[in-house]
Structure 1
């Protein structure tokens, strides 16, 4: 039962193969098993690849099954259409397009499985890329806000500097009127005289201006700080909104690119493995000697070809004979006087009828 199924997978003619030896049947059963398991591997590989795209098990299995059936049909067609010939180079030339197709199929099958086998390494590469993208994204978004925030901070520094400058002036006035009262500067008289009062009034006026300046600049600083906080909040919101896009950077193309950044030798080894599996049915048919099945298949195909060629030749001969007979028959008819007289009589009658009809038409028009 299993051998019959694998023989069916090989694309061999079962009616011919059943009349061959068990060894010949086992050879084609092995070829069919290779075709079948290659299709199974294609199904697994494509289902995984499509799962990374759609992120849905049922969709991936459905389209993976279609892809597996397509690969099975292609491999079965490739193997079944290779014919054993008397020259190896003729066979190789015949199999060259099929080998190229097998190489393409091997690449398509191997890549998704490579991504699954090296999934941890690929995830590490993707993590590094995501971290780099996150930093680059923050820097890129910051370019929109940093100049504005720096200008606002500079305005705050200017306002604070204005307060500090006025505060220093007020403190200097305070030291001046205290020194005047203590007799260390100014009039050098101890006590609170007219000069002391003048300097004290000047200090009090400056202190009042300092308080007003602090209140006014404080309100401005609070408004600027609120504006900075709003910009920082907006910056954080933009970074947070763009982060899911970076976190979702693990699709099929991203994984293929990440796989390309890994050492090439393991991936190349896996590719060679699938290439060997995919081309093994073709190689077996090329290297194996011409067996009983090949002779019987050639006999049946050449018999059909000979029969069709014979029928075509017979049709050509019949057509040529029929043309020669027709030419001879109509040639003899042309020589008969009775036929000539009959045709002449009918032609005369036709001319009379035409003349009469024309005469009647002319009369009616007068």
Structure 2
């Protein structure tokens, strides 16, 4: 039963093969087995590729079955349409479009399986790419927030410098009026005289300005720090929002690109393997000599072709004969006086009827 199934997979005529030797049947069973297992590999490859896209096992298997059946039908058609003519050049020309199609199918089948075979290496490449994308993403987002944050920090620095400058002036005035009181500077008079009082008043006025400036600038600094905290929070939120997109950067196209960054030789040999599997039924038929099955198939096709041509020629001869007979009959009738007299009589009656009808029509019009 398995042998019969593989023979059906080969696309050969089972009725003709039944009349052939066991060796001939085994040859076509082997070709059919290659076609079948190629379709199985296509099913596995398509299922894995679509699973990476949809992340759903049932959808992947469903599409995989459809793709496997499509490849099976194509391969079966390719093998069944190659006819042995006994001339290798003619057979190669006949098979060249099918070989090109087989190469395309081999590429489509091998690529998803390469993705699975080199999955660990691809994951490493994707991890490096994700890290690079993460850093680039943070830098791009930082470019949106850093200028504003730096500007606000500069504002805080400016406000603090104003306080420090005013505080330094107050401290300098404090040292001045203390030195005046001690008699170590200024008028050199010990005690709290008029000069001391003047300098003390100046210090107290500037101290009041310092306290007011501190209160105003501290409020501005607090508001600015709040803005900075808000910007930093927005920055972190935007990073958290965009990071899942980077984390999901492992789709089919990303994996194919990552595979392209790996050494090409292992992938090339896997492609050659599937190319050999896909084209083996074609080359098996091309390289094999013309066998009993091919002769029987050619005999059946030529018999049908001969019968069709015979029927066509007979119909053409019958039509030609019918034309000749009709020409002779009408030529003979043309010379008969009796037929001429009868037709002349009927024509006269018809013309009279037409004249009467015209006269009646004209009379009714008046």
Q: TM-score, normalised by structure 1?
A: 0.99
Matched, 1:73 2:68: no
Structure 2 segments unaligned to the other structure (5+ residues): none
Correspondence 1:23-172 to 2 at 5 A: 23-172=23-172
Residue aligning to 1:227: 227
| Worse overlay, 278-287 or 177-186 | 177-186
Any residues of structure 2 matched to 1:305-316 within 5 Å, and which?
A: 305-316=305-316
Whole-Å separation in 2 of the counterparts to 1:289 and 1:363: 93
Q: What SS is found at the alignment partner of 2:25?
A: helix
Distance 2:316 2:215 in 1: 117
Q: Between 188-197 and 61-70, report the one with greater CA deviation.
A: 188-197
CA distance in 2, matches of 1:331, 1:136: 99
Q: Distance in 2 between matches of 1:355 and 1:41?
A: 88
Q: CA–CA distance in 2 between the matches of 1:362 and 1:222?
A: 116
- Count of aligned pairs between the two proteins: 366
**Structure 1 CA distance, aligned partners of 2:178 and 2:42?**
96
Q: How many Å separate the matches in 2 of 1:13 and 1:3? A: 14
- Aligned partners of 1:264, 1:202: CA distance in 2, in Å? 84
3-state SS, counterpart of residue 90 of structure 1: helix
Q: Distance in 2 between matches of 1:201 and 1:310?
A: 136
- SS of the residue corresponding to residue 249 of structure 1 reads coil
Displacement of 1:360 in angstroms is 2.0
Q: Provide the rounded CA distance (Å) in 1 between the counterparts of 2:120 and 2:218.
A: 56
2:200 is the alignment partner of 1:200: yes
The Cα shift of 1:204 comes to: 1.7
Distance 1:361 1:308 in 2: 61
Q: How does 1:208-223 map to 2 (within 5 A)?
A: 208-223=208-223
- Cα deviation, residue 356, structure 1: 1.6
For 2:188, the equivalent position in structure 1 comes to 188
* CA distance, structure 1, for counterparts of residue 340 and residue 278 of structure 2: 79
Shift of residue 361, structure 1, vs aligned partner: 2.1
Moved more, 189-198 or 59-68: 189-198
**RMSD across aligned C-alpha pairs, in angstroms?**
0.9
Residue deviations 1:167-218, cap 9 Å, x none? 1101111111111122111011222222112112211222221111111100
**CA separation in 2, counterparts of 1:26 and 1:124?**
47
Equivalent in the alignment of 2:357: 357
Query: Normalising by structure 2, what TM-score?
Result: 0.99
Q: Aligned partners of 1:334 and 1:235: how far apart in 2?
A: 108
Which residue does the alignment assign to 1:17?
A: 17
Moved over 4 A (4+): none
Quote the Cα distance in structure 2 between the aligned partners of 1:61 and 1:360. Answer: 86
Q: Which SS does the other structure have where 1:362 is aligned?
A: helix
Task: Work out the CA distance in 2 between the residues paired with 1:222 and 1:302.
Answer: 100
What is residue 284 of structure 1 aligned with on the other side? 284
- The C-alpha deviation readout for 1:1-34, integer Å capped at 9, x for no partner, is 1111111110110100011111111110100000
The residue aligned with 1:294 is: 294
Aligned equivalents of 2:51, 2:62: Cα separation in 1: 11
Return the alpha-carbon distance in structure 2 between the equivalents of residues 229 and 27 of structure 1.
Answer: 79
Counterparts of 1:230 and 1:365, CA distance in 2: 104
Structure 2: distance between partners of 1:198 and 1:359: 148
SS at match of 1:63: helix
Task: Provide the rounded CA distance (Å) in 2 between the counterparts of 1:269 and 1:100.
Answer: 18
Matches of 2:303 and 2:199 in 1, distance apart? 133
